[in-house]
Amino acid sequence: MIKIAIDALGGDNGVDTTVKGSMLAIQEFKDIEIILYGDIDKINPLLTNKERISIVDTKVQVSMGEKDPVKAIRTLKDSSLVMALKAGKDKEVDAVVTAGPTQCVVVGAHLIVKKLPQMSRIALCPIMPNFDGNPRLLLDVGANVELRPEHINELALFASITAECALNIKNPKVGLLNIGSEPGKGREVDKETFILLSQNKNINFYGNVETFDIVDSPVDVMITDGFSGNMVMKTMEGTGKTMAKMLKQEIKSSLGGKIGYLFMRKNLARFAKRMDSKEVGGAMILGIGTPVVKAHGNSNDYAFKNAIKQVRNMVSNDLINKVTALLPSTEDKE
Amino acid sequence: MIKIAIDALGGDNGVDTTVKGSMLAIQEFKDIEIILYGDIDKINPLLTNKERISIVDTKVQVSMGEKDPVKAIRTLKDSSLVMALKAGKDKEVDAVVTAGPTQCVVVGAHLIVKKLPQMSRIALCPIMPNFDGNPRLLLDVGANVELRPEHINELALFASITAECALNIKNPKVGLLNIGSEPGKGREVDKETFILLSQNKNINFYGNVETFDIVDSPVDVMITDGFSGNMVMKTMEGTGKTMAKMLKQEIKSSLGGKIGYLFMRKNLARFAKRMDSKEVGGAMILGIGTPVVKAHGNSNDYAFKNAIKQVRNMVSNDLINKVTALLPSTEDKE
């Protein structure tokens, strides 16, 4: 039985989403057991089926607008987020899912769950939609502002095995996001990273990938430092959102557009779904000793259920042991 | 009379576009004179109106697929691109327009036209489409891989005045592209840049801008280093292109979609036009002593004419003198 801790108070919709999503996951996966960390008085009325679900009561929530993640994680020890992560650290559970505020989850993963002794850094790794319908991994999107080549090389291995375990991709192709596709492109850090990745026998390194291909990518895993990854991810999301807004505006601007919309409503809904990151899954924290998935803050039941599915796959496919076996054994890294 | 040198052999369509675009510009602007650098035998049959247009004959072209820009610029001295830039350097003309290969244009601007003595770096600065229909400037998108805070600060001034002169924006707002909107975000280089930009009395500094707002931007000028800018620009372009491909695919996937298309064809055309970078103008090389505009390689007559219009505005609004007056006088910078 795979035990999963849920931060039931996290996310824009709190218990409404997390409790319903948990019940959906329990129905779909017979090999999981869920522990909800949250307000028992709010959870109980929603919990219409208690099969394989237990509750650890806490009323304290990490606010979605939290401006000081380090302080929040250090002081709110009885918050649903910190308690769920602590359970992950202490191996009371096999994995953790939260829809809480991203930077608090990253800081919590870092300070509470802690990185594997063989890893130098952790990374935030969302799943990105792609033209062909097969999701891609992108990292780091903001756990670190800067990463040295050896950090990116370690994280590339972790991400590669994560792509296998979480998304069932065999021998995933790993690409270095860069400003040109030929070797020798980019900053010094990118050139050095390219060499390390080329020499890494534990990954299937494809070479450089340009961001022009971000949604139509030739690789399964796209890696770069946390500053660049964050800039790229938000550019993609923002462009998608603004284009959708433009499209709506143009369609509404004339009678022909409105009539046309009636005919192609379903087509447009499918189009929107293809770019919807809620469809593809939550962001994973890589580099730590217990799988943690950060579902979107505005997840609905279905998206939250999918985040649970994602973390379940990571556990049942033995992600952490597979990574540990391939990392060179070493004393604890800074 | 404003004299403009045209690299007539540059671009995917060569003389077909450059000659026709030049004739369109001559018709529209009575204060310009054009010198076409290119193959007189190919130009003459297309040049149905020679008013204010002269030709400097050369058969040598810098190939659009050129892999070694430095070598190309150094060796192809009688190419249309190098000759046009040389005319710009020698002040035989007031400005240069080319649709040639981007990196060759950047290298040519650097090696031939050369930066102003008071500038430390040059930058490639495209005009980006935006939700509200008012174009924005983005820089640097690839003239430099890395830029120090003082370089970005100098370029911010140049870009600000360029926004005024080329796009008629009064008191343009300048934003630093960053991974968060609050001060103190980003890498060390971003934090230092933020401070310099805040202290720069010659620009209207807005603060940090997240890339989520790249196509719905609160500022007129978005500035960052050449690596980040290139990653962001290509992410935006690639996302736009892939989304358009997805939309087409979904519309074609059913009869309802095809019928709907007939009704909203015009709406979709307007939508496509809003995201079309050909509509908004060419990329400018900032930091050099003569205005140079790099039109899109696949420009049509109309887009090429607009690039000429853009460079004409830069000259008639006295861009270079305005910048020079505000830059601290100094010995030639490295």
User: Is A256–B264 a contact, with Cβ atoms under 8 angstroms apart?
Assistant: yes
Helix (H) or strand (E) holding A40: helix A40-46
Asked whether the predicted pLDDT for residue A31 surpasses 80, the reply is yes
Are the beta carbons of A97 and A4 closer than 8 angstroms?
yes
CB contact under 8 A, A235 and B211: yes
pLDDT above 60 (res B29)? yes
Contact between B173 and B220 under an 8 Å Cβ cutoff? The reply is yes
Give the strand order in the sheet containing B95-98.
Answer: B53-57, B32-38, B2-7, B95-98, B292-294, B283-286, B123-125
pLDDT at A143 over 90: yes
User: What 3-state class would DSSP assign to B209?
Assistant: strand
Instruction: With CB atoms and an 8 Å threshold, state whether A259 touches B263.
Output: yes
Q: Which pLDDT score is estimated for B330?
A: 64
Asked whether the beta carbons of B184 and B166 are under 8 A apart, the reply is no
pLDDT, greater one: A262 or A275: A262
How does the average pLDDT of chain B come out, rounded? 94
Return the higher-pLDDT residue of B276 and A133: A133
Q: In B182-330, where does DSSP find H-type helix?
A: 188-199, 226-252, 255-274, 277-280, 301-316, 319-326
**How far apart, in whole angstroms, are the C-alpha atoms of residue B311 and residue B292?**
7
pLDDT at A265: 87
Query: For B21, what's the count of Cα atoms within 13 Å in the CB-facing half-sphere?
Result: 34
* Residue B270: per-residue pLDDT: 87
CB contact under 8 A, B267 and A260: yes
| Residue B332 confidence (pLDDT) above 60 | no
**Phi then psi dihedrals of residue A241, to 5 deg:** -65, -45
Distance CA B290, CA B302 (A): 23
CB A209 within 8 A of CB A216: no
Q: Are B45 and B69 in contact (CB under 8 A)?
A: no
Tell if the CB–CB gap between B257 and A243 is shorter than 8 Å: no
Measure in Å the smallest separation between the Cα of B143 and chain A Cα atoms: 11
Q: Which of A46, A38, A52 is nearest to A16 (CA)?
A: A46
Among A177, A260, A271, beta carbon nearest to B231: A177
Is the pLDDT assigned to residue A318 strictly greater than 90? yes
What is the mean pLDDT of the segment spanning B188-212?
97
Helix or strand (DSSP H, E) at B42: helix B40-46
CA distance B208 to chain A (A): 12
Average pLDDT, chain A: 94
Burial classification of residue B84, based on how many CB atoms lie within 10 Å of its CB (0-12 exposed, 13-18 middle, 19 or more buried): buried
Q: Chain B: give the shortest CA distance to residue A321, in Å.
A: 33
Q: Tell if the CB–CB gap between A263 and B260 is shorter than 8 Å.
A: yes
**Cross-chain Cβ contact A186/B145 below 8 Å:** yes
Q: Which residues of B touch A243 (CB under 8 A)?
A: 215, 239-240, 243, 275
Inter-chain contact A270–B259, Cβ cutoff 8 Å?
Answer: no
Phi and psi (nearest 5°) for A105?
A: -65, -45
Region B295-309: mean pLDDT is 94
Q: What is the pLDDT of residues B303-321, one digit of tens each?
A: 999 999 999 999 999 999 9
CB atoms within 10 A of CB B199: 9
Q: Are B2 and B28 in contact (CB under 8 A)?
A: no
* A177 close contact with B: CB closer than 8 A: yes
B96 phi and psi angles, rounded to 5 deg: -135, 140
Q: How confident is the model at residue A270 (pLDDT cuts 50, 70, 90)?
A: confident
In this structure, which amino acid lies at residue B115?
Answer: K
Q: Are strands A173-178 and A221-223 parallel, antiparallel or unpaired?
A: parallel
Is residue B291 predicted with pLDDT exceeding 60?
A: yes
Q: Is A266 exposed, middle or buried (0-12, 13-18, 19+ CB in 10 A)?
A: middle
Tell me the Cα Rg of chain A: 20
- With 0-12 CB in 10 A as exposed, 13-18 as middle and 19+ as buried, what is A49? exposed
ipTM of the complex, rounded to two decimals = 0.93
| Identity of the residue in B215, B239, B260 whose CB atom sits nearest the CB atom of A214 | B239
Residue B280 is predicted with a pLDDT of 74
Residues of B in contact with A179 (CB under 8 A): 142, 145, 226-227, 230-231, 234
Closest CA–CA distance from residue B185 to any residue of chain A (Å) = 9
Which helix H or strand E contains A192, and what residues bound it?
Answer: helix A188-199
Write down the pLDDT at residue A333. Answer: 58
pLDDT one-digit tens code per residue, B73-109:
999 999 999 999 999 999 999 999 999 999 999 999 9
Q: pLDDT tens, A41-80?
A: 999 999 999 999 999 999 999 999 999 999 999 999 999 9
Across the interface, whether the CB atoms of B232 and A235 are under 8 A apart is answered yes
What is the C-alpha to C-alpha distance for residues A55 and A84, in angstroms, rounded to an integer?
11
**Mean pLDDT computed over A304-327:** 95
How many CA atoms within 13 Å lie on the side-chain side of A11?
29
Percent of chain A with pLDDT over 70: 99
Q: What is the mean pLDDT of residues B180-190?
A: 94
d(CA A288, CA A158): 10
Q: Which residues of B touch A213 (CB under 8 A)?
A: 238
pLDDT band at B238 (very low <50, low <70, confident <90, very high): very high
Contact yes or no for A251 and B259 at CB 8 A: no
Cβ atoms within 10 A of the Cβ of A321, count?
10
> Which chain A residue has the Cα nearest residue B258?
A264
* Peptide bond just before A140 cis, omega within 30 deg: yes
Q: Is the pLDDT of residue A154 over 90?
A: yes
**pLDDT score for A275:** 81
Candidates A130, A210, A223, A264, partner chain B, best to mutate (most B CBs within 10 A): A264
DSSP at A197: H
Cβ–Cβ contact B103 with A under 8 A? no
Distance from chain centroid for Cα B131: 19
Q: What spatial distance separates the first Cα and last Cα of chain A, rounded to whole Å?
A: 34
- Note the pLDDT of residue A331: 55
- Which residue of chain A is at minimal alpha-carbon distance from B224? A231
8 A C-beta contact, residue B203 and residue B157: yes
Give residue-wise pLDDT tens across range B137-154. 999 999 999 999 999 999
Question: For chain A, how many residues are written?
Answer: 334
What part of B 230-259 touches A (C-beta under 8 Å)?
Answer: 230-232, 234-243, 245-247, 250-251, 253-254, 256-257, 259
Distance of CA A258 to the CA centre of its chain: 37
Strands B173-178 vs B204-210: parallel, antiparallel or unpaired: parallel
To test the contact with chain B by mutation, choose from A263, A266, A274 the residue with the greatest count of B C-beta atoms within 10 A, namely A263
- Average the pLDDT over A286-315 and give the result: 95
pLDDT band at residue A272, thresholds of 50, 70 and 90? confident
| Buried b / exposed e along B213-231 (16+ C-beta atoms within 10 A) | bbbbbebbbbbbbbbbbbb
Q: Residue A330's pLDDT is what? A: 63
Chain B positions touching A226 (Cβ under 8 A) are: 179
CA B140 to chain centre: 10
For residue A241, the chain B residues in CB contact (below 8 A) are: 212
